[in-house]
Amino acid sequence: MCLGVPGKLVELYKSGDLLMGKVDFGGISREACLEYIPEAKLGDYVVVHVGFAISLLSEEEAAATLAVLREVSDIEAELDVRPGELQT
C-alpha cells in the first residue's frame, strides 16, 4: 500500500474535469492526477502512488531530518564522543 515515489511537477493541465500534471522522476516522467494536491505549483515535489499525487513534499522537513543526523555526527566526531553521549 506503499509504493509512493517522489517526483517533480513539470506541467499542469486539465484533462476533462480532472486536474492533471506531468511528473518528472528523473529520466522518466508520467502523468499523475493532482485533484488531491490542488495547491501544487510547478517545481513542487509530490509523492505519487498509482498515478495520483497524495502528498506534497516539504523541503524544510526533509532537510531538517538529514541535518539533525549530520550535525550530531559532526559534533560527535569533533569531540570524539560515542554516539548518544551528547545531550541533544
Partner 1 sequence: MAETMKTSLEGMVCPVPLQHQERIVQGHGSGGKLMHDLIAKYFVAAWDNPMLNAGNDASVIATQGAARMAVSTDAHVVTPLFFPGGDIGRLAVCGTVNDVAMLGARPLYLTASFILEEGLEIATLEKVVASMHAAAQEAGVQIVAGDTKVVGKGMADGMYISTTGVGLLAEDTRIHGAAAQPGDLVIVSGSLGDHGIAVLAARGELGFDTDLESDVAPLNRLIAEMLEASQNIHVLRDPTRGGLATTLNEIARQSKAGIVVKESALPIKPAVDAACELLGFDPLYIANEGKLVAVVGREDGERVLEAMRKHKYGKDAALIGEVVAEPAGRVLMQTLIGSHRLVDELMGELLPRIC
Partner 2 sequence: MKYVAEFRDAELVKRSAELIRAEVSRPWTLMEICGGQTHAILRYGIDELLPEEIELVHGPGCPVCVTPLEQIDKALALAALPNVIFTSYGDMLRVPGSGRDLFSVRAAGGDVRVVYSPLDAVRIASENPDKEVVFFAIGFETTAPANAMSVYQAARLGLKNFSVLVSHVRVPPAMHAILGGEHNRVQGFLAAGHVCAVMGYWEYPSIAERYHTPMAVTGFEPLDLLRGVLDVVKLLEAGEVGVVNSYARAVTFEGNRPAQDLINKVFQVCDRKWRGIGNIPMSGWELRPEYAAFDAERRFDVSAIQSEESPVCIAGKILQGQLKPPQCPAFGTLCTPQHPLGATMVSSEGACAAYYHYNKADLLSEVKHG
Can you give the binding site for partner 1, defined by CB under 8 A? 1-3, 5, 25-31, 48-51
**Distance from chain centroid for Cα 29:** 16
Residue 20: name the closest of 7, 11, 29, 28 by CA.
Answer: 11
The item of partner 2, partner 1, none sharing an interface with residue 42, based on CB under 5 to 8 Å by kind, is: none
The item of partner 1, partner 2, none sharing an interface with residue 38, based on CB under 5 to 8 Å by kind, is: partner 2
The item of partner 2, partner 1, none sharing an interface with residue 40, based on CB under 5 to 8 Å by kind, is: none
Minimal distance, residue 21 CB to partner 1, in Å: 13
Burial class (CB in 10 A: 0-12, 13-18, 19+), 39: exposed
